[in-house]
Chains A and B, each alone.
Chain A
Amino acid sequence: MKGKYYIQSAAAISPQESFSGPFVPQLLTLADKNLLRIKEPDYSGFIPPNNLRRMSRVLKMGLVAALQCLRNSEVSMPGAIITGTGKGSLQDTERFLKNITEYAETALNPTPFIQSTYNSVNGLIAVQQKCTQYNSTFVHRGFSFEHALLDSMMQIAEGNADVVLTGAFEEISDEHFYIKSRIGYWKKALTQPAELLTSRTPGTIAGEGSAFFMLGSKPGNHPLACIEGIKMVYKPTQEKLHAALETFLAQHEITPSDIDLLITGQNGDVNHDHYYHNLIVQYFPATTSLPFKTLCGEYDTASAFALWLATQVIKEQGLKKILIYNNFYGDQHTFLLLSNS
């Protein structure tokens, strides 16, 4: 997929103060759990009260990040709405599962079932914007947001859309945090984000967030950055991963030394950190790297936060090219190449 895909606007809800105002990254302090929660903005200015009353947490988080992204752009009617989410609305799924048991399958509230469907956020954005165009949701762990992005790029390349609203949303519930702790997703001892990368223990810290982007065939008035290409690699060996990187860079006629900043998904998990370590040692020994999961925690669509972070630093720091490399528990690996124009 060659071509230029301009990020005309962006918005993020995350554990950071990212939703409005200038962004200053902070290493947060965890109180009792290895879990970073989002800072909730005031949703009432975005959603009419009559719509807000029914919505569960991740629906609000997803919808409002999308609406803020639209506000930040000059676009009111995107040509497509494409999102990614690994888990959808955990809160609604859990609630419906419990209701089935608690009420013995009788007189069940339909709302949690409806909202547990993975495409419900997409549907809400479409209803609110009256957008009847292409609309899709990818639900594949560390390839959820990535395919939303690829699909968006294809919509533009096909000439079906000039601008696409694309993004991702993910929540972590206490219940799901516990469930995943049973199979080693999180570190056993309380580990602060500041110590995450030097902890040398298995697992990581959980996170959540929502980020949206207006992607266009043209720069628009204030382009934040430009997506040059994306490459996904599924369950690779280290050799295959490195070969994929070399091919990817060669396709874009650059070498590792052209990369000004490497944003990585390093998360301090000894089981998977070697992918990052070996890649850096072999290709980017002198390149500045910025590990983003100390800011947002680990979740299926954390890469959307990484892309948002890239849009914040690329102009501010006068960078020309950024490479994002992320993997989700060693299975889904992605390279994303960005330029400043």
Chain B
Amino acid sequence: MKPTTIMEALKLKLKQQIIEALNLQDTRPEDIDDNAALFGEGLGLDSIDSLELMVLLERQYKIKVEDPREGRKILQSVQSMAEFIQSKQPA
């Protein structure tokens, strides 16, 4: 697969996992914009959700985010999460 396709597939999978992990009923993957803010105005998530998303990263992608301040940057959007995951995958 081309890198762009891999990235798209990753983002779609990530959206599905976010919906499941946070029990976002009535939300479909296509409802979540890649670059929309996950917290505050965007999806309306809060600090507990951000912890849940860090659990998701750790369980599904074996990536541990130790510092909550770092976590905030990674979890800005689906795009930023996907980029972070890719940067941690062995090339």
Interface residues in chain A, defined as those with a beta carbon under 8 Å from any beta carbon in chain B: 49-50, 53-54, 103, 106-111, 114
Contact = CB atoms under 8 A, between A and B. Distances in A.
Contacts of A106: 58
B55 A54 contact: no
A107 B51 contact: no
Given A53-B25, A106-B58, A111 B44 contact: no
Nearest to A44: B25
Given A108-B55, A109-B55, A49 B48 contact: no
Contacts of A109: 52, 55
B36 interface: no
B87 interface: no
Contacts, number: 25
B23 interface: yes
Given A53-B22, A53-B23, A53-B24, A110 B48 contact: yes
Nearest to A99: B55
Nearest to A107: B58
Interface residues of B, number: 12
A109 B58 CA distance: 11
Contacts of A114: 48
Contacts of A54: 22-23, 48
Contacts of A103: 59
Nearest to A106: B58
B55 A107 contact: yes
> Which 5 A-B residue pairs are closest in the complex by CB-CB distance?
A107-B58, A53-B23, A110-B51, A107-B59, A107-B55
Contacts of B59: 103, 107
Contacts of B26: 49
Given A53-B23, A108-B55, A110-B51, 11 more contacts: A49-B25, A53-B22, A54-B22, A54-B23, A103-B59, A106-B58, A107-B55, A109-B52, A109-B55, A110-B48, A111-B48
